[in-house]
Structure 1
Amino acid sequence: MKNSFQIFAAALLTLSLTACEGFLDEQPVSEVPADEMWQTSRDAKAGVNQIYGYFRTAMRENYFYWGEFRSDDFEHGASSAADQQRVIDNQLTTDHRCTKWTDLYKVINQANLCIKYIGGIDTPSVAERNDLLGQAYGMRALAYLYAVRVWGDVPLFTDPNEKYSDAIYRERTDREYILREVIVEDAKKAESLIDRTKNKERKRISVYGAWAVLADAYMWLGEYNLADQTIEKMKADPMFMAFEPGIDTWKKMFTEELNGKASDNTPENDDYSTREFIFVVHFNMDEVGTNGFSYMYQWFTGSGNRAAVVSQRLRDKYEEGDLRFPLVTKEYQAGWELRKYIPGDISSTLNKTCQVAYPIYRYSDMLLLQAEALARLSKWEEALDLVKMIRTRAGLTTPEAADFGTEEELVDFILDERQRELVGEGRRWFDLVRTGRWKTVMQPVNGMSEEGNELFPIHFSHLDQNRKLTQNPYYTQTN
């Protein structure tokens, strides 16, 4: 159909099929003529909502595969969880489904469509239009941040693919270029566009989400002063962003606040009583049926099917008297289950109705990231003041700056605190890679020792379709 494009499924051309013929045979979920779509405020909202829908699909399994299963947080679960065990054991091959970037590029392409078209739509207010554009920029930044953290250099698209052409086949772009020129700049655009008055929804990108992505990117670039300054901005409005000081409210954040929230129809209303969460991946079965349940129960409970259990190495890192430990894990059926998101024992019937959201960013995460930045800036006392907030809530005392001999010792201490605080939140593996500690930590666990092993391989189907791509070198040697 002339001038038509596949809006909500075609996102599409981004190397998602094993052959060109397969792409041409692919049927769109919705095909809308260009002169009929992107006309109204409703179209603009639907377009942005679909970004989040694609992101939920991309993260449903990969939240764990990409962010945590390669770290020292988890060990084998049930013997039937073979796919998860391959990642935990550092036995990734180019046919594992977590090596596909298809769903992530759907997020990027949908964001590109929104960025291209929303500016020309007549919305009830300029602020509303800008807010939708800001969310698109913020989500594109976040999607690319995941991509470069997982694969390193990746193909770069800042314009939408709306029809088949050779333009969908691109070489990989340097990771640092994408971090500096795309992720940082997109997050800044999001910061400038997002409506700070009406966008109060933690299920979508608010200005706090844009700041979190920006601070995260700065840490990957080693721009510690800029990361510190960005996180400091989050402290200006305690009505929206604030530290939860009590361990009881800490537990309720995960077991109650994240569970079973309604659809996101009123972004101007904050559905959460906690002020800790910045951005979450929302799951709701009323919206998308069985695709709307998360794996937070299914993958971590029940000896017969759980994908992973909390590792002995992590359990040993919890100090005596740490109030988080009995809230994070429980020994059950010959394994230490992750119970951070679960109020009690979970039956097998509840596994398929779990609607627990995944935290992408929360305030405690940002405070510990800021502490790490301050340590790098030789502001040890200020760094430990932030760590002390986390440890006091956990019932622990905090060492003094004089107790550390070197900057690296202090950073290791902060990273250990991040590991204890953020287990089950998809952060540990990225911390190890970002700080260059992945070899030291993981070699005794699963043998990681060769440079390049920190990246994921690129799925063979992407390489088959796009001859301009090259595999990450480690996997050309071992696979």
Structure 2
Amino acid sequence: MHTTNRLFSTLSLLVLLAGCQSFLEVQPELQVDESQAITNASSAEVALNGLYNRLGNDGYYGSNYQALAYLSGGDIQWTGSQGAPQEITARKLTADNGYVGNAWAAIYRTILAANYLIETVPTLADPQLTAARKDQLVGEALAIRALSYFDLVRGWGGVQLVLTPTRKPSDNTGITRSSVDETYAQVLKDLTAAEPLLTNTTNRNRVTRKTVWALRARYHLYRGEWTQAEEYAGKLISDAANYRLAKPYSAFFANNAVATPESVFELAFSNSFRNGHANWWLPPALGGRREWAPNAQLVTLLNDPNVGGNRKDLIAQTAPPGNLWYGRLYYRNPIGTDPQYIIRIAELYMIRAEARARVGKLTDALADLNTVRDRAGLSALTAATTPDLAATLLAIEQERRVEFPFEADRWFDLIRTGRVATVLGITDTKKYVFPIPTSEILADKALTQNEGY
């Protein structure tokens, strides 16, 4: 596979600054012989730290992958002058788009880093690396690889499955694309393998068994497996001692809050490892560029007391004469130290609501939906306002829209529910996936382009 070859000299395994105590401090990486990179307990721990860094990299959850979804979903506008994001918002995405290329490469870098841990850690003979700790390291890597392939398949469709390390340029070449079903099957295989290896503890910045349950709930929702989606979402919702909705809505992010009971999995950042989102959301007066901004329709929804409720705290307006609306989920000083929210307990409520509705449990679905609405300061919906499945699903769609507007949720929701043509007017189904980067197609004859690009 070309991605693995092109990144071979700089990726391989991530050997980061020695002696780091936290993955917040391990941004730099060295180019080394990756076949010798993981040799003992210490280097294995550093490699795992590096894997989380890959997940939060600017190309992945730190910026570009999220931006592809933001700018595709219809509620976020681009206010800058760069061509790549303009292509996305104008529905003229090409295979040469820089956001596409950066996101694709960053996700595969994450997969490659996970592959080294998955293969190498079980072979290590170090008395400081217990069997339980080996299981935890491998389990975290498997879960992150599952998340990476999940993000690839929902963005690009079926992709090349690279499941072993790339130690030399000839490794992992000539791999053809798997189907969508085969790619999803790999996601489930990795999550299933990870679950028994991980501890049943609560950690909002690292993967545990509970994180896997949350990811499985999302996976089953996308696959239309409603009973399993309800089951796995319920595992987190029932753990009220550790996971609950923060009240009011802004409590999970305002006043420099981190790792609140709202979060199931969030990435932490610091001065030495920065989250790129604030740079794009904040106006210049607050240190950003405000090149991603809520459009007028989203501003109206969030400011409507009957729709947005107290979620209006997600946005603010610059002083006159500009009067420009901006997103303030990412706002901290120093800039770039905001957490990145990968999955919150609110999403588990919304997953369970939809899963219950799909199997005819409309009363139970409304109960979950109203729990999220109550936190937003909204009145409860009733059987009179949502009398049937169609009305309930529309209510869930609307709630997700204003609950997760800055968490890259909207585009993928509309695609998976078959609503993108109705809502966004995009009738060309070929545009429901992103293009494979041109550079990858040219370099790897085994890789085929998505139809329409």
TM-score in terms of structure 1 length:
0.82
The correspondence for 1:105, drawn from 84, 103, 108, is 108
Paired position in structure 2 for 1:314:
298
The root-mean-square deviation of aligned C-alpha atoms, in Å, is: 2.4
Paired position in structure 2 for 1:74:
76
Work out the CA distance in 1 between the residues paired with 2:145 and 2:139.
10
Give the AA of the match of 1:307.
E
Matched, 1:359 2:341: yes
Work out the CA distance in 2 between the residues paired with 1:226 and 1:455.
26
Map 1:29-108 onto structure 2 (within 5 A).
29-32=30-33, 34=35, 36-57=36-57, 58-77=60-79, 79-100=80-101, 101-108=104-111
Paired position in structure 2 for 1:19:
none
The 8 Å contact of residues 237 and 349 in structure 2, kept in 1 or not, is answered as no
What is the CA distance between 1:45 and its match in structure 2?
A: 1.1
Matched, 1:189 2:190: no
The answer to which structure, 1 or 2, has the higher relative contact order (CA under 8 A, 6+ apart) is: 1
Matched, 1:235 2:237: yes
Give the AA of the match of 1:308.
W
What is the CA distance between 1:188 and its match in structure 2?
A: 1.7
Work out the CA distance in 2 between the residues paired with 1:149 and 1:383.
25
What is the CA distance between 1:217 and its match in structure 2?
A: 1.2
Are the structure 2 counterparts of residues 33 and 214 from structure 1 closer, same or farther at C-alpha, using a change threshold of 3 Å? closer
The correspondence for 2:123, drawn from 120, 123, 132, is 120
Paired position in structure 2 for 1:263:
none
What is the CA distance between 1:316 and its match in structure 2?
A: 3.5
Work out the CA distance in 1 between the residues paired with 2:226 and 2:328.
34
What is the CA distance between 1:147 and its match in structure 2?
A: 0.4
Give the AA of the match of 2:356.
L
Give the AA of the match of 1:209.
T
The correspondence for 1:369, drawn from 335, 347, 351, is 351
Work out the CA distance in 1 between the residues paired with 2:168 and 2:373.
53
What is the CA distance between 1:398 and its match in structure 2?
A: 1.9
Work out the CA distance in 2 between the residues paired with 1:285 and 1:168.
38
Give the AA of the match of 1:436.
G
Work out the CA distance in 2 between the residues paired with 1:258 and 1:165.
46
Q: Which runs of 5+ in 2 are unaligned?
A: 1-6, 14-28
- Cα distance per residue 1:242-289 (max 9 Å; x no partner): 222x21xx3132134556xxxxxxxxxxxx3x2111112322223x4x
Paired position in structure 1 for 2:271:
285
Paired position in structure 2 for 1:385:
367
Work out the CA distance in 1 between the residues paired with 2:446 and 2:385.
52
Work out the CA distance in 2 between the residues paired with 1:159 and 1:29.
21
Q: Partner of 1:43: helix, strand, or coil? A: helix
Work out the CA distance in 1 between the residues paired with 2:172 and 2:346.
42
The 8 Å contact of residues 8 and 50 in structure 1, kept in 2 or not, is answered as no
- Cα distance per residue 1:110-129 (max 9 Å; x no partner): 11111101112234432211
Matched, 1:329 2:315: yes
Q: Partner of 2:264: helix, strand, or coil? A: strand
Work out the CA distance in 2 between the residues paired with 1:118 and 1:82.
43
Give the AA of the match of 2:212.
A
Are the structure 2 counterparts of residues 458 and 278 from structure 1 closer, same or farther at C-alpha, using a change threshold of 3 Å? same
The 8 Å contact of residues 227 and 370 in structure 1, kept in 2 or not, is answered as yes
The correspondence for 2:421, drawn from 439, 442, 445, is 439
Work out the CA distance in 2 between the residues paired with 1:165 and 1:69.
36
Matched, 1:174 2:176: no
Aligned pairs, number: 419
Paired position in structure 1 for 2:17:
none
Give the AA of the match of 2:40.
T
Map 1:160-171 onto structure 2 (within 5 A).
160-165=165-170, 167-171=172-176
Give the AA of the match of 1:462.
E
The 8 Å contact of residues 276 and 362 in structure 1, kept in 2 or not, is answered as yes
Work out the CA distance in 2 between the residues paired with 1:399 and 1:239.
27
Q: Partner of 2:342: helix, strand, or coil? A: strand
Work out the CA distance in 2 between the residues paired with 1:334 and 1:201.
40
The 8 Å contact of residues 44 and 118 in structure 1, kept in 2 or not, is answered as yes
